[in-house]
Structure 1
């Protein structure tokens, strides 16, 4: 009997799935057969508190990616951006991150309430190295504290206090490979249409999609500091 195309496709798909399972890395020993152990000098750079270079780096940092984990293990990463130095160094073991207006989903803040775990990658434009920080976090709303984290006359909504467990500079290889800070390598500017995402899912027309996009544009300009 000659196999049908669908049967052949099923056989091929099953074979592919089996090969994927066979190739899956499931132990640290298997991993280290491919990824060598780091040099001793690489481990030495991992610190339990900020040093002079990392403090100066944070003073110049206008943007960071903040990772958190929920009670069920779901990981979220949130972008945080503001004036350079917006991540305040309270002391070499402690940071303060201001919470500004945004989309109100508050996934990261909820995760901090769930687990208190946090990870940060801080970036400085035109600098290849990044600063990685891991630790625990708690949320504060003390009026004097959030006022001290004001930007352009606007106090922070909340303050996230980060207790550092470890921190270190990550080398620039990924930034160099991506040509992230090379303007000649950048694609043409683009814009995501939130209207195209939202309008069809609430049963609305293209006209409503355009209104949504116009509202988003306003949030980027005239309403940058408002939650509406």
Structure 2
């Protein structure tokens, strides 16, 4: 099959020749457990991106969000992410069952540095843990348990370049893409039907 791109790099040596090596600080900042600073960050974070892949290497990145502190830290090496109601694709959960490696990026609104965690994940229905993650009177049916292997702060360059938290750089609301219109085009369904479905999901099935 014809290559999709030209001048493709195929080795780490080629990458290093162009980009060099990380500084001493970047190398040393990676720790193998969550210390008090990491736990405090997670306690203030209302949002985490969850990256998984299946045994064949097909990848998925899914958002998880709730009130700050919704991710439960059990100790220096373990955290738990509640599985709130979603679209039932269960991509992350299916991936974890076939390949336990997981990557997380925690965000705090207004803070440009992020917290990254890599480790091994498990799908759990431990009732004692699930009870601790109730929200709006609802107990999650499942959760993602993570054993932390790497933990480190990620610098703010991407957020500074994107201006993500700078409200003055945001497009006007009327200029934003319409999620309902996009989904309607992808599914060949009526846009008004999609609008109603999204509204019902957002108002009645958050928990």
State the Cα deviation string for residues 3-51 of structure 1 (Å, max 9, x = none): xxxxxxxxxxx9xx69x54x21111111001111011121100000112
Contact 1:195 1:213 in 2 (8 A): no
Aligned-pair Cα RMSD in Å: 1.7
CA distance in 1, matches of 2:108, 2:64: 13
CA distance in 2, matches of 1:224, 1:111: 23
CA distance in 2, matches of 1:147, 1:197: 38
State the Cα deviation string for residues 67-102 of structure 1 (Å, max 9, x = none): 011011101111100110111111111111100000
Look at both structures and tell me which one has the larger radius of gyration over its CA atoms: 1
CA distance in 2, matches of 1:53, 1:179: 25
User: Structure 1: where are the runs of 5+ without partners?
Assistant: 1-13
CA distance in 1, matches of 2:14, 2:42: 37
In structure 2, which of residues 43, 46, 49 is the aligned counterpart of residue 65 of structure 1? 49
2:103 is the counterpart of 1:103: no
Q: Do the aligned partners of residues 223 and 161 (structure 1) sit closer, same or farther apart at CA in structure 2, a change above 3 Å counting?
A: closer
In structure 2, which of residues 29, 51, 73 is the aligned counterpart of residue 45 of structure 1? 29
SS at 1:162 equivalent? strand
Contact 1:59 1:85 in 2 (8 A): yes
CA distance in 2, matches of 1:196, 1:24: 34
CA distance in 2, matches of 1:155, 1:31: 47
TM-score (norm 1): 0.84
Pairs aligned (count): 201
TM-score (norm 2): 0.92
Residue equivalent to 2:100: 116
Q: By percentage of residues, which structure has more helix? A: 1
Higher relative contact order (CA 8 A, sep 6+): 2
2:117 is the counterpart of 1:133: yes
